[in-house]
Chain A
Amino acid sequence: MNRTGGRLVLAMAAGAAAELAGLALIGSAAWLITRAAEQPPLAALSMAIVGVRAFATSKGVFRYGERLAGHDVALRAQAATREDLYRALIPAGPHGRRGADLLSRMVDDTDAVQDLLVRGLLPGAAALVTGLAAVALGLLLLPPAALVLLAGLLAAGVLLPAGVTAATRRRAARIAPARAELAARVADLLHGAADLAAYGAGERALAASAEADARLAALERGQARVNAVAACLGVLAQVLTVTAVVLVAQAGEAGPVATAVLALTSLVAFEPVLPMAAAAERMAGVFAALRRLKEIRTTPPAVAEPVRPAAVPGGPLTVEVEDLVVRHAAGRSPALNGVTLTLAPGRRVAVVGPSGAGKSTLLAALMRLVEPEAGAIRLRAGSDGTGNHGAGDDGAGDDGAEAVVDLRELPSDEVRRVMTGLTQDPYVFQASLRDNLRLAGPEAGEEDLAEAVRRARLEGWVERTGWDTPLGEDGRTVSGGQLQRLALARALLNDPPVLLLDEPAEALDEETADALMTDLLDATRGRTTLLVTHRLRGLEEVDEIVVLENGSVVQRGTHGELVNAPGYYRDLWRSEALVARR
């Protein structure tokens, strides 16, 4: 930031120098002409002639320097802001997933820093320096005229921008929702085109968007009126100040040379000052954006990182979930309400249940993306799951205690190194298929990639698309099924000690889903796996099935046990079996 600070000062200095050169140019030219009219010896004018030429040349050079340095600073500042924002977003946030529109607005907000520098700070500094220089010159020539100029400059450079800011702030509070309303109507019209056309509601939706448009337009016209009034007052301030300066100078017997210099420098001194009113309007938006960015930076992350992080115990790991309670927001009913389960090394456990039962929350807790309200998740080295073994192992309790670690004592990144896999809403980056896969296994060789692709039944697509073809914006060229298989390939490539799979067969058609599940159960044999699913086919193979409903475990057992007990699992199995016979 220090280098950026230095460059900022450089840019400000160059900008101020350019404006000062302009002021000096007009001042020396005015002096040259009025003095020449008094027909002094040529030597008396030579300094002014040199000055006029020097100021004329240097103004352009300074301006060039300002623009270069200013853009360099702005680009640096923007890059730094983006990096800061990104780093602030890395720890899982408390709001869970953010909508795509919100994300892109957040990214747009990072442009605000650039605007603040290029359109606020730099021209502001130049205006300040120029105004002060003109007033100082006035003080040398005729103090009363300088006071008049100071008053005029303050009116145009301070009062006017302040007035615009006040008027804009009130209006901006109404413009932003109106703009969001219009955006929502437009999005409804386009994203909901099929629904609207099918129900003959297109005309009404179009009318609704026109209404939103009219409301926004009225507010924008109001803002334009504010700006127009500011422009009007700015012109008045400039010309009336010059008029008053001339009046004061003539009354003060300043003489024609000083009067002309005062008048013309006053006129030019307003040039960098007048745009301040328009800049004030823009700064209102800039400050709002900066406030939003700050809010994100200061939002505490969803989970606390340990002060003194523990290490993951070595060897095969058992995951123990005990009486886990997770609540997404205070006052809401818990998403998980006392869930207990054990995942021993090499065993596969399936979690089934209706949507909203808490399956994904359980995975989020395991990946340390949400903070439990009560209960614990522990990693235990060795195959010693709770209760599975007799009292004989209690003798080794001391050793065992060392090999147990609560998830809260581990850095969250370390937790996700141990437990991760196919998560909800996998994302396709605008990069090649290879890079999209490799993010899950940066060290993976070509053969590992090919193997993961084969196991995820993705090879047909890879043959057609190619490894290095960039995948489209928002993964638009990727279908839901392909996306799901890509995510599965990532999970297999990553090969974590504990593999988590959240609805791997989602968005696939029946036949592909069956085939994928078969492959998946083959591929995970002997791996510690937690599988969340709503399809029961193939679950005969897993070691334990846990049925979640309303955040609690309502049934658990093997497939054989569950199909013989009344409840959700048997109902669902019967309906699947019924249709499977067809």
Chain B
Amino acid sequence: MHKDLLRLARGERAVRRHLALCLTAAVGAGLLVLVQAELLAGVLSGRFTTSALLLLALVAGVRGVLALVQGVAAGRTTTAVKSVLRHRLLSRLRDLGPARLASQRSGELVTLAGRGLDALDPYLNGYLPAVAVAGVVPVAVLVRLSAADLASAVIVLVTLPLIPIFGALVGMHTKAVTERQWRALSRLGGHFLDVVRGLPTLRAFGRAGFQAGVIRRVADEHRSATMRTLRVAFLSSLVLELAASLSLALVAVPIGLRLLGGTLDLTTGLLVLLLAPEAYLPLRNMGNRFHAAMEGVAAADEAFAVLDGEKASDGAVSEAGPDGTAAARGGGAPGAGPDGAAPGTAARARAESPEIRLENVTVRYPGREEAALEDVSLVIAPGERVALVGESGAGKSTLLHLLLGFVTPESGRVLVGGAELPGASWRPAFVPQRPHLFAVSVADNIRLGSPGATPEEVEAAARAAHADGFVAELPEGYDTVLGERGANLSAGQRQRVALARAFCLPAADALLLDEPTARLDGRSEAAIVAATRELSEGRTAVIVAHRPAMIDLADRVIRIAGGRVVSDSAMMIGEAR
């Protein structure tokens, strides 16, 4: 068994119990086949009376019940394992923090944690029981056979190992080729998906029809390559079949001849005939389920790689991020707190903005040579509005992520209100560059940070963010559920929903904005600038800005280049103001 899965199964009581029940039922049913053969041989040879058929029916009943138990227990095992694994995976990914998640292929992770784990089904409910049966039943058959007829038992004993040996030989010979072929198959699927996704672009340049031919050609080439491999790979199943059926012939013919000579009785003869295939069947079942099971193992490997892999290589990204800072903040959510005040009035209720102080901070992302931020020191006074400017990749977003606790410095300290991050409990409101809209209602999207907010508070926040107009036009207003990644809102509208989130967090003591007006047209930009001006009133604000209108809003402009502060308007007060 997969060793990590085994550890998981051992650790979870429910999983352990269901799995044990499933395997026991499978082995029990396998052993009952021996009893069935015994009874059938007895009845057919005339040794047992017809009334033994009653026992046979009883065996059928018990086997049926065991099959039922096995199936139900298998269902419970697989769902329990998948739930546990999925939960651990998602918790782990959350703990990685958004900064490191961004560097992973999030699409693949979504698939892995979603449909990907379904690949475990055939492994857990098919392959594992087959392995358990294969470990017990052939031995039991051999024992019974040797008691009945040693000569037949020897034939089975000698031919039985041929199955795994030949299987392994052919497998070894074709393993690399087969694996390459399966990878090619998934690449083929990838190519097809790629072409389908890019269809609008192909259409624009009149290349859509041409690609249809490419799709066919690629598929044809792939098919002939695959068939070449399969001709060899399927030899293993040929060997499995041949070993099993030829052994039956090897056993049956001598038995027939010995019966003819009178040296063997019919009951034994029939028993051997009925039992011999049962020695091979479990091994064949196991072999047939091997491939599907290996896909499950691959999924498990991937999942455990995410779970275990990155604990060692901890770089700039905070492990404790959400656990420490965000979780602490979650506990003190304004909805849960005493102040359920509306955003407008809440400005007075919120705590004093803290001072933000960076002391010689260096941030380096794992696997990167150059630092994302290098030896940055600055002090942002309470209530100051700071614009961070600079080319993309200069380190502006890293600075924001540092203040949010998404990344931890390699050296240096970040102090908020005198307490060091991560750990300091402060509540900045954050509007990312590309805010994610969740597949829930608009209202729930707005009250993300304050789940207890009343509908009035949500609407007030939307009004303040200039979002009330388009929300009112949605089919169900604030109750409209947003579609696939919130795709049914324009970029400007999404940005305003994200700003409303910030407005719906009246107790926030600072505002962190990452290029809120990138990719917006003039009118949307004007609305966002106006909303940001109101939101940052009397509050510390750090705004990553590209567009002049946004920079205008700030009291202080800090330019960052190559991870360093290269100019700071606060340092040039004499000249500039």
Contact = CB atoms under 8 A, between A and B. Distances in A.
Interface string A232-266: 11111011101100110010000010011001100
Contact of B430 (A48, A198, A242, A510): A198
B201 A72 contact: no
Interface string B320-337: 011000111111010000
Given A32-B252, A416-B206, A187 B56 contact: no
Nearest to A439: B207
B71 interface: yes
Nearest to B50: A250
B522 interface: yes
Tell me what chain A mostly uses at the interface: helix, strand, loop, or mixed.
Answer: helix
A243 B222 CA distance: 50
A202 B330 contact: yes
Given A63-B241, A423-B201, A214 B220 contact: no
B418 interface: no
B82 to A, nearest CB: 7
Given A33-B266, A103-B193, A423-B201, A355 B215 contact: no
Interface in B257-301: 257, 259-260, 262, 265-266, 269-270, 273-274
Interface string A367-405: 101000000000000000000000000000000000000
A9 interface: no
Contact of A427 (B53, B200, B483, B498): B200
B523 A354 contact: yes
Given A201-B448, A217-B79, A260-B44, A36 B260 contact: yes
A6 interface: no
A243 B57 contact: yes
Contacts of A36: 255-257, 259-260, 269
Contacts of B304: none
A42 B200 CA distance: 77
B53 A247 contact: yes
Contact of A355 (B329, B428, B524, B549): B524
B204 A420 contact: yes
Interface in A55-97: 55-57, 59-61, 63-64, 67-68, 71-72, 75-76, 78-79, 82-83, 85-87, 89-90, 92, 97
A1 interface: no
B419 interface: no
Contacts of B546: 509-510
A260 B270 contact: yes
B86 A87 contact: no
Contact of A354 (B191, B522, B551): B522
A366 to B, nearest CB: 11
Interface in A561-582: 568, 571-572, 575-576, 578-580, 582
B155 interface: no
A465 interface: no
A99 B107 CA distance: 13
A508 to B, nearest CB: 9
Nearest to A96: B200
Contacts of B202: 439
Most B Cβ at <10 Å: residue of A49, A198, A507? A198
A426 B215 contact: no
Q: Identify the interface centre among B72, B211, B519, B522: most chain A CB within 10 Å of its CB.
A: B522
B173 interface: no
Contact of A75 (B196, B223, B274, B429): B223
A210 interface: yes
A61 B241 CA distance: 8
B90 A228 contact: no
B253 interface: yes
B542 to A, nearest CB: 13
Contacts of B206: 413, 416-417, 420
A579 B551 contact: yes
Contacts of B490: 355-356
Interface stretch (B59-67, B132-140, B369-377, B455-463): B59-67
A292 interface: no
A107 interface: yes
A474 interface: yes
A294 interface: no
B115 interface: yes
Contact of B115 (A30, A179, A579): A179
Interface stretch (A218-226, A306-314, A449-457): A218-226
A518 interface: no
Contacts of A26: 248
Interface string A404-428: 0000000001001100110101111
Nearest to A198: B430
A306 B310 CA distance: 59
B368 interface: no
A571 B256 CA distance: 103
Contacts of A206: 87, 90-91, 94
A206 B50 CA distance: 62
Contacts of B220: 79
B292 to A, nearest CB: 11
A355 to B, nearest CB: 5
B439 A239 contact: no
B245 A25 contact: yes
B330 A203 contact: yes
A355 B255 CA distance: 87
Nearest to A490: B205
A217 B435 contact: no
B82 A192 contact: no
Contact of A33 (B222, B259, B549): B259
A200 B329 contact: yes
B245 A59 contact: yes
A182 interface: yes
A140 interface: no
Interface string A164-199: 000000000000000100111111111111111111
Nearest to A263: B44
B505 interface: yes
Interface string A91-124: 0100001011111101100100000000000000
B110 A187 contact: yes
Given A33-B252, A579-B549, A225 B241 contact: no
Contacts of B241: 18, 59-60, 63-64
A102 B168 CA distance: 40
B406 to A, nearest CB: 6
Contacts of B204: 367, 416, 420-421, 423
Contact of A39 (B59, B191, B211, B260): B260
A317 interface: no
A188 B44 contact: no
B501 A199 contact: yes
Contacts of A34: 44, 266, 270
Contacts of B501: 195, 199
Contacts of B404: 194, 197-198
A39 B94 CA distance: 77
Contact of B110 (A86, A190, A217, A511): A190
B392 interface: yes
- Scoring A35, A233, A355, A421 by chain B CB atoms within 10 A of each residue's CB, the highest score goes to A355
A64 B193 contact: no
Nearest to A199: B449
A440 B201 CA distance: 9
18 contacts: A63-B237, A82-B192, A87-B212, A92-B203, A107-B189, A195-B436, A202-B326, A224-B72, A238-B60, A263-B40, A354-B522, A369-B203, A439-B201, A476-B105, A490-B205, A506-B519, A510-B547, A578-B548
Give me the 10 closest cross-chain CB pairs, A-B, nearest first.
A224-B75, A228-B71, A579-B548, A239-B60, A192-B436, A200-B330, A534-B521, A79-B219, A199-B449, A198-B430
Given A57-B245, A75-B227, A429-B198, 19 more contacts: A21-B245, A29-B273, A32-B252, A34-B270, A68-B230, A82-B192, A193-B94, A194-B436, A195-B498, A195-B501, A197-B404, A200-B333, A213-B87, A224-B71, A239-B59, A473-B107, A576-B548, A582-B548, A582-B551
